[in-house]
Amino acid sequence: MFGKKEKDIPSAHFDKQEPVPRYDANTYDVAPELVACPPHTTESKLVTKIDLHVIPFLCIMYLLAFLDRVNIANANVFGLSKELKIVDGNKYNTALVIFFVPYILFEIPSNILLKKMKPRIWLSICMFGFGLVTMLQGFVQSYGGLLTTRFFLGVFETGMFPGAFYLIGMWYRRHEAQKRYSFFFSSTTLAGAFGGLLASAIGKMDGVAGYKGWRWIFILEGLLTVLVSFAFFFLLPNFPEEVKWLTDEERAYVKARLQIDQGASARERPITLRDVGNVFRDPKIIVGGFMYLGLIVPAYSYAYFSPSIIQSYGYSPIQTQLHSVPPWAAAFAFSMVVAWFSDKLKHRFLFTLFPISICISGFAILLTVHHHRQVQYAALFLVAMGAYTAMPVIVCWFNMNLGGHHRRAIGSAWQVGFGNIGGIIAVYSFLPKDRPYYTPGYSISIAFVCLSALSCCTYFAMCMWQNRSRNKSVRDVGLTDYEKTELGDLSPDYRYLL
């Protein structure tokens, strides 16, 4: 019986060392509960093996993707806007926002392609593409060239985030997933910290080969991504059904433990346009998009504008880059602590509201305190810690409550794609004319964080209501296993994690 709460699943199903029944690597000849852990390993060792083959490579991939996306903020500190003559008006903001147009539109098609192709092939192609475009960004000579490169950066990066979340969700049980999601998402915070340190070093190359320091930031960071993409064509993980580093016994056991927790994955089944339409008939899907949208606004506001905000405190360009590192590091540590407790307690809802409250308090300080540099800098810690801790919990909670490949592929892409509309809002919330107080930007950020909190409460209530309704209904409704697989988390046997 899949979709049970973890406490309802006997541990003996996973730990007993009975003779392994005859099975095929891709299908079950027996109920998944009867597939024992292979005698040569244990479940914990197998999960560690999965961790080593899945998480590190996805983290590095997304660290480089996020670095290539937001390093324009570091480059701007070193004179990008001045050299391209886009200081006046909102041209810099437009260059930021054009990235999100293809990034939003191509999320769902990208996840469908990722499922159709092997993940390592699709993701490594995208990785090579955005690395190359980042390099080209360092050679642009006009505003039009900057807009063009930012647009194609969005095209190639569109599959990174939802694809990785989708892939991680197909490897782990729900109570194991938050630590992995948060560690992966913390690639973002590490990119922010690493980007500040790297930019402070590369910025000193100003004048080398006749190029300004901001150009070298794009050229060298893009080149690094291109080189890594060649290796990652072989190193990035695929779905459990396709990997070569698991034996047949291990692969069947991994599939069994996931099926007990989440239901059959239907990996072999193609995704159709009808599937897309059916997924959006579930109102929880729409709410999941607003949960993420509300936090994207403060997250991108921080990523794109924190260097400018810190510089307004009177720091030099190099000092600005160095002072941008500690808030990102604090966000990483706090995110992992919250993730550990969330998995330990097998609960998500309260672990979204707590960091959201911290984020709101940070923006409230920035909104009201204007002449105390230390307090303002401390508030940036609260914003980064709150936003970048709540976001992975929200995405993990929503994604891991979606059953089956087709619902998770579409749902995860929708959440990330719709949520990134917030990136457009963030870009135009912090305008040059609002310096140095950025009152409209901080006010808009608080409003959207509150929207995320309200959406989380709504999603929690919907999931709890459906769990209770299914507990009260007749369990055997005559559905075949195929019909339950098609329903995914809408199956009467499924229970949502709260």
Judge whether residue 110 has pLDDT over 70. Answer: yes
Residue (of 418, 180, 199, 166) closest to 287 by Cα position: 418
**C-beta of residue 376 within 8 angstroms of C-beta of residue 365:** yes
Supply the pLDDT for residue 334. Answer: 94
Q: pLDDT tier at 475 (50, 70, 90 boundaries)?
A: low
d(C-alpha 478, C-alpha 155), whole Å: 45
Q: What CATH code is carried by the domain that includes residue 404?
A: 1.20.1250.20
404 or 458, greater pLDDT: 458
Supply the pLDDT for residue 16. Answer: 40
Supply the pLDDT for residue 267. Answer: 54
pLDDT in tens, 338-397: 999 998 998 999 999 999 999 999 999 999 988 888 898 899 999 999 999 999 999 989
* Token couple for 344: 């330990």
Supply the pLDDT for residue 185. Answer: 79
d(C-alpha 16, C-alpha 418), whole Å: 44
Comparing 39-43, 106-110, 303-307, the range with the smallest average pLDDT is 303-307
The average pLDDT across 1-28 equals 38
Show the CA angle centred on residue 125, arms to residues 280 and 296, nearest 5°: 45
Tell whether 1 is covered by a domain.
no
Q: How many CB atoms lie within 10 A of CB 20?
A: 17
Structural domain harbouring 336: 6-490
Amino acid at 92: Y
The total number of structural domains that make up the chain: 1
The average pLDDT across 275-291 equals 89
d(C-alpha 243, C-alpha 119), whole Å: 11
Supply the pLDDT for residue 223. Answer: 94
- For residues 103, 105, 108, 114, the Cα torsion angle rounded to the nearest 10 degrees is -50
Tell whether 462 is covered by a domain.
yes
**C-beta of residue 183 within 8 angstroms of C-beta of residue 163:** no
Tell whether 66 is covered by a domain.
yes
Contacts of 118 (CB under 8 A, 6+ apart): 238, 242
Contacts of 349 (CB under 8 A, 6+ apart): 397, 456, 457, 460, 498
d(C-alpha 117, C-alpha 362), whole Å: 43
The average pLDDT across 98-118 equals 86
**C-beta of residue 127 within 8 angstroms of C-beta of residue 64:** yes
Tell whether 167 is covered by a domain.
yes
- Conformation bin of residue 398: beta by default, left when phi > 0, alpha when psi is -120 to 50: alpha
Q: pLDDT tier at 268 (50, 70, 90 boundaries)?
A: low
| H helix and E strand count, the chain | 22, 0
Supply the pLDDT for residue 12. Answer: 35
Supply the pLDDT for residue 36. Answer: 77
Supply the pLDDT for residue 184. Answer: 84
pLDDT in tens, 402-439: 877 778 878 888 898 898 898 888 888 888 788 778 88
Supply the pLDDT for residue 250. Answer: 86
Q: pLDDT tier at 34 (50, 70, 90 boundaries)?
A: low
**C-beta of residue 309 within 8 angstroms of C-beta of residue 438:** yes
In terms of average pLDDT, the best of 260-269, 310-319, 379-388, 424-433 is 379-388
Judge whether residue 255 has pLDDT over 50. Answer: yes
Tell whether 210 is covered by a domain.
yes
Helices 143-157 and 43-77 pack at an angle, to 10 degrees, of 170
DSSP class per residue in 101-131 = HHHHHTHHHHHHHHHHS-HHHHHHHHHHHHH
Q: Which residue carries 């060239």 as its tokens?
A: 145
Q: pLDDT tier at 126 (50, 70, 90 boundaries)?
A: very high
Contacts of 318 (CB under 8 A, 6+ apart): 200, 203, 204
Q: pLDDT tier at 25 (50, 70, 90 boundaries)?
A: very low
Residues of the chain above pLDDT 70, percent: 88
The average pLDDT across 11-28 equals 38
Residue (of 182, 208, 188, 94) closest to 144 by Cα position: 94
Amino acid at 330: A
465 or 264, greater pLDDT: 465
Residue (of 24, 66, 96, 492) closest to 241 by Cα position: 24
pLDDT in tens, 215-254: 998 999 999 999 999 999 998 888 887 888 888 888 888 8
DSSP class per residue in 341-377 = HHHHHT--THHHHHHHHHHHHHHHHHHH--S-HHHHH
* Token couple for 146: 């900057």
Helices 439-472 and 350-368 pack at an angle, to 10 degrees, of 170
pLDDT in tens, 52-107: 998 889 988 888 888 888 788 888 888 888 889 888 778 888 888 898 899 888 88
**C-beta of residue 63 within 8 angstroms of C-beta of residue 189:** no
User: Mean of the per-residue pLDDT values for the chain?
Assistant: 82
**C-beta of residue 51 within 8 angstroms of C-beta of residue 171:** no
Tell whether 389 is covered by a domain.
yes
The average pLDDT across 441-454 equals 94
* Token couple for 159: 């599959």
Tell whether 497 is covered by a domain.
no
Residues of the chain above pLDDT 90, percent: 29
Tell whether 236 is covered by a domain.
yes
* Token couple for 219: 């050229």
**C-beta of residue 241 within 8 angstroms of C-beta of residue 154:** no
